[in-house]
Structure formats: C-alpha cells, structure tokens
Amino acid sequence: MFFRSTNLAYENIKNKRKNYKYSHQENKFITEIKKNTVKFNVDNVSRTEAYANFFYSNPEIKWSFLASMVSRNAGWNMTDLKGRWFTLALDEQQRDRLFFTYERANWIIFQDAYPQLLLYELSKKLGTSLFHLLHAFSVSVFMEQEWEVFWSCKNEERLVTSLIINEQNMIDHPVIKNPSLQKDVFQSLAFILQDIGHFSCVVFPTLDGELYGHSVYHFKNINNRILLGKQLSNILFHPELFMKFYSFSKKTVHTGSRYDYEKYLHKNFTRQTPFLRVAYDIVQHVPVVQEDWVFKQHKKISNWNAIVEEKAKHPNPLTHWFLHKQNELHGLIALNNWVLRDKR
C-alpha cells in the first residue's frame, strides 16, 4: 500500500470544494446525515452501537467494527473511574478530567467519521459516488480522496489505515495537545505511571472467556497511536479470531461496565463498575473548529503508512497477563491508600 498523493492533489480538491454548489437533493442528504450523526453522538453507548450496526450492514468497512470495539474499551475506562479502585486512587476532579478526555476524543472522532460512513452507505445504495459532499461535514480532503480510491479499487486495508491516520490527526490538537488537558491529564502522575507500567490496555473479549488486545504505550505520540490502531486491526480481523470477536459483539449489549466481558471470564466475577448511563450525565460538546490537518502533515502520510505496515503475528490471548496487571494496579492503589491513611 502506498499513498501517492501530493499537497497539490489536496489543493485541487480544496479548490473544487470552493466552487461547488450543492443541489436541492444534496442538501437534503446533508441535512439527514447531520441529524443522524447528532442522534447517535450522544454518549459512548450510542456511538458503540452505531459503529457496530453500521458494520453489520457494511462488513467491507472494517474500520467501523474496529471503532465499535475500541469504543467499548473507552466506555470501560470511563466507568472504571466510578469503580472501587479509581475512587480510592484519584480525587473527583482528577477522575472528571480523565472522563472528559475519553469523552471528548470519542465525540470528535464520531462527529467526523460517522458522516463518512453514512455517505458511503448512501453512495452504495444509489450506485454513485457522493464523496464530494464530505466538505459539508468538514471532513479532510485526505479522506475525500481515500473514499474515492476505495470506491474505485475496494482496497479494504488501505481504507482502514486511512481512517486510523485521519482519526488520530483529528484528536491530536484539540485533545492530546490541548494545553489544559496536557497539564491536568497527560502530564499527571497517574497518567505517567499508567503509561510506564503498561496498565492501560485495549482488550477484545470472546464468549469463551479469553481476552486479546494490546497495551497502550506513549499514547501522546501520534506515531504510536497510529501503530496501535493497525496492531489492533490486525488482531481483530485475524482469520482465526474474527468470528469470536464478532459473536461477542452481536451477543453482548454494551453497558459501559467491564462486567460486559468479566462475566465470561469466571463465574465468580461480580460487577465492580456501574452502567455508563447510570454513572454519567450527557455531555454537551462544543464543535471543533480546526484547519484541515492534511496541509501541514501531508509529508508524513507515507511515513505513517510505513509505520503500520507490519506483518501480523498470530495473536496470543493476554487474559492472564491482563488480569495480573489489573491486580498489580489494584495492589499499588491499596498500598498507597494504606500508607496515606497511616500518615494521618
């Protein structure tokens, strides 16, 4: 896979956008897609379901299944903050900031990606490319070109990679490099210790009680986030494992609580985190206004593509390792809490 586009090609798309006038029918399409995006971009539960349902109807768009499974993990991370251990480890303000970081990143990605998915579905239904309408949703010229390439060539792997690159650029400045979040979240001791200790992990569960996935390391670095996305995609769509993850997704309603998968691990597991919609109110987001990232970053696209072009090894379950890391983290929290209590 090789991205041949130049800045000139993106400038040409940008210039075409300036001069294009939407027809009455196109404006109707745009309005309907915007309504549906707002409808499902309410919280982590609705986003997760929307991504999954889209994939069930359009299995050639693999990224939507990856997005749904990663979104499940975001929900589990959110409700962890209301569970027993993180309420001992972090004060309410710290936990609220972490929740907002997860929520904001996922809201931004959905706001950008879901109109792309719906426009593809509409193009498929009508039998004609409608990707010139992506401008109405402030989608990057990079993704407009990548959807046109997919429409012509049907290269599913290239589209997955393109969407991973795009989503990570979409959150890079408004979330990862946001000065307030940098200070309060990404430079906090809690985040640094989680990063160093590999305590943070994206897991893909199965109905037979196994977990697969990858640890999250140096999350602030966009190269690492793009690499992680491709590694997760390789695991999720491994030919010997995909149907296991698909069956889990179809059978297991996403509540945001880790008990969604813990109930399959061991019959003695009890739920330690709440349902997401019980734990959190709806967040009212302010839309992101930012320049198209591709014009500053286009020289890096081929490098990002090269970073993720790794041969997929046969994934091994990380169930025992993950549970060990969870126990290790809980032990450190308990020890810290005991030391602080003793000092009082």
State the average pLDDT over residues 189-200: 62
Mean pLDDT of the chain: 90
- What average pLDDT score do residues 297-322 get? 79
pLDDT confidence tier of residue 194, bands split at 50, 70 and 90: low
C-alpha span between 141 and 149 (Å, rounded): 12
User: Is the four-CA dihedral 338, 188, 274, 266 of positive or negative sign?
Assistant: negative
Distance of CA 33 to the CA centre of its chain: 20
What digits encode the pLDDT tens for the residues 223-276? Answer: 999 999 999 999 999 999 999 999 999 999 999 999 999 999 988 889 999 999
Q: What is the DSSP string of 248-307?
A: HHHHS---SSTHHHHHHH-TT----S--HHHH-PPP-PPPP----THHHHGGGHHHHHHH
Predicted local confidence at residue 199, as pLDDT: 58
Over residues 202-213, the pLDDT tens digits come to 999 999 999 999
**89 falls in which pLDDT band (50, 70, 90)?**
confident
* Band of residue 126 on the pLDDT scale cut at 50, 70, 90: very high
pLDDT at residue 310 greater than cutoff 60: no
10 Å CB burial of residue 239 (0-12, 13-18, 19+) is exposed
Structure tokens at 54: 């889209």
| Cα 333 to chain centroid, rounded | 27
- The reported pLDDT for the residue numbered 267 is 82
* Stated pTM of the model: 0.93
